[in-house]
Amino acid sequence: MASSLRLPPGSFLLSARPSSATLIHSRVAVSYQCRSFSQSPQRWAMRPNRNMAIKNPSQPSMKTRTRQMEQTELPNDIGFMPGTFVRPLWRHMPSIFEKPRERLQMEWAWLKSRFQDIASVILYCKSKGNNLPLQFRDRRKIARALQKDMYTAFAQGDTKQIRRICCQNLANNLAGQIEARPKGEEMTWSLLKYLRTPGTYFTGMRVMSDRASELPDLPNSGIRQVVLRITSRQATSKKSTRPSNKDVAPAAKEQDCTEYVVIQSIRWQNNDSGWQVWGHVSPTTLNTLLTDPYFKPGLTLTERLSAIREGSGMK
């Protein structure tokens, strides 16, 4: 059904990434393919001398391009911060009895990342003359409001509201799902309650990561991303407004959801974009821990930086 929400198991609303328990999954990698408008050979009014060296025009730096752009034209989605450790649920961790070494590696990576995350936020907010609010107590309240507003706007088909509170790639994905709905179909969404599980310290919402970083070569610019594990019970229903189906009462579907929601705030030259929903991510796996150069054990600092540059295409 074109209007149905494409959800992976354990999700209840929107799916932008495959995950065992997410609503809208994160875009881990987005690739763009470009081709010329015409495949026919191009004809030139003048053919340059083959011996003549053609110098490519110099491109302005990122700093220059940013200054030339208006605030509304600046991107609000520059990807998920690499090296972010998102602790899995206890039952998804390696067994301390069967695989004690692997379990200790994950526990150490989690503990180390927590200290690094806190240090990165404090340095980002309070160093280099900055006096940005830490907002440690406000993170869950901000995420709760954004999640509710996003799902409500999606159910109502309010693409304007979605583009206000969601980053560009996520907003495009949700707007595309709204446009694909059959005409005459209405959808409702409601949050029934938060599930106070041990995985959220019995609060229904737990901060799993909070990281911040300055943007290179751009003064007074940076990004902060917060990952939260949210457990809740949600309900959705759909009904047709066509005359022949008006008497059919919609049956609400309830489901328990575990989501890893990413909210972010970008600052461009001291202009704060405000908090928005970036999307959803999956917890860090043991395979990621052993292969990702950000976490891989046994590497020197030089080897780790070299592997990160090679993986990102940097020279």
Tell me which of 73 and 128 has the higher pLDDT.
128
Confirm if 276 and 263 have CB atoms less than 8 A apart.
Answer: yes
pLDDT band at 217 (very low <50, low <70, confident <90, very high): confident
Q: Which pLDDT belongs to residue 128? A: 83
**DSSP state for residue 181 in the 8-state scheme:** S
Q: Which of 150, 185, 21 is nearest to 91 (CA)?
A: 21
Q: Which of 80, 116, 78, 110 is nearest to 94 (CA)?
A: 110
pLDDT above 50: residue 24: no
Q: What are phi and psi of 209, to 5 degrees?
A: -160, 140
Confirm if 10 and 152 have CB atoms less than 8 A apart.
Answer: no
Q: Which pLDDT belongs to residue 301? A: 80
pLDDT band at 307 (very low <50, low <70, confident <90, very high): confident
Confirm if 115 and 123 have CB atoms less than 8 A apart.
Answer: no
pLDDT digits (tens, 9 = 90+) for 45-60: 334 444 444 455 555 5
pLDDT digits (tens, 9 = 90+) for 53-111: 445 555 555 555 555 455 556 788 999 999 999 999 999 999 999 999 999 999 999 99
pLDDT above 50: residue 10: no
Is this structure's pTM higher than 0.85? no
Domains present along the chain, CATH in parentheses? 77-240+249-284 (3.10.450.240)
Q: Please report where in the chains the tokens 């600092």 appear, as a residue.
A: 301
CA atoms of 310 and 314, how far apart (whole Å)? 6
**DSSP state letters, 98-115:** T-HHHHHHHHHHHHHHHH
Confirm if 295 and 289 have CB atoms less than 8 A apart.
Answer: yes
Confirm if 196 and 204 have CB atoms less than 8 A apart.
Answer: yes
Q: Which pLDDT belongs to residue 230? A: 98
pLDDT above 70: residue 43: no
pLDDT above 50: residue 215: yes
**CA distance readout (Å), 206 to 67, 94, 228, 257:** 37, 21, 5, 14
Instruction: Take residue 111 and report the two structure tokens written for it.
Output: 């503990």
58: helix, coil or strand?
A: coil
Residues 6+ apart with CB under 8 A from 214: 124, 128, 221, 222
Residues 6+ apart with CB under 8 A from 118: 210
Provide the 10 A C-beta neighbour count for residue 260: 25
**CA distance readout (Å), 172 to 149, 180, 208:** 16, 12, 26
Q: Which pLDDT belongs to residue 298? A: 81
pLDDT above 80: residue 42: no
pLDDT digits (tens, 9 = 90+) for 281-303: 999 999 999 999 888 888 888 88
CA atoms of 206 and 199, how far apart (whole Å)? 8
